[in-house]
Amino acid sequence: MEFTHPPAGAAWLHQDSRQGFEVAFFRVTDDGLRIDGHAAVAEDGDAFAVEYEIELDPDWHTRTARVRGRSPSGSRTVVLETDGSGHWAVDGKRAPYLEGCLDVDLEASALTNALPVRRLSLPQGARASAPAAWVRARDLTVERLEQTYTRSTDRGTHTCHDYAAPAYGFSSRIVSDESGLPLEYPGIAVRAL
């Protein structure tokens, strides 16, 4: 499937599991794409904010992610680096538990589901495992998140993927625009811009 270039900026209204807002800005670089974003949300009586910079290669493989978070317990920063082949370092230390992951997924972000959608470019009916380096929102701990994407029937020019993260008993049908960015992510967010 051919995706269009992402817009210069996009925004999501987080709803259901949390309340808040996320904005992201996209810039083509000499060796791929850079995404700068921010999310400010409230969940389970806590407020937290996350700022992120993600660098991707031309095929949307994550290369680096710098994530800064602020919560009532303080401020934190985590830096993830990968070679694009599934070998990772977290804050400069090798992270073998992330072996084979090709994407970063931020708990505080609806956008990061676009990374495997774009990278996989699944034909209709196809299913793929897409384990990710998952950065938790409140404390920025990094875990391995097993997840799958199954391309379901499109809605006109919008692609649909059935997403599942079995360890958390979570599944949702993500509807994406022509650039692969989520428009509807039930239980998480809807596109505001």
Per-residue pLDDT reduced to its tens digit, 35-91: 999 999 999 999 999 999 999 999 999 999 999 999 988 999 999 999 989 999 999
With 0-12 / 13-18 / 19 or more C-beta atoms within 10 angstroms meaning exposed / middle / buried, residue 185 is: buried
Tokens at residue 147, please? Answer: 């997840």
Burial 136-160 (b: 16+ CB within 10 A, else e): bbbebebebbebbbbbbeeeeeebb
| CA 38/CA 130 separation, integer angstroms | 24
pLDDT tens profile 69-82: 999 889 999 999 99
| CA 15/CA 69 separation, integer angstroms | 20
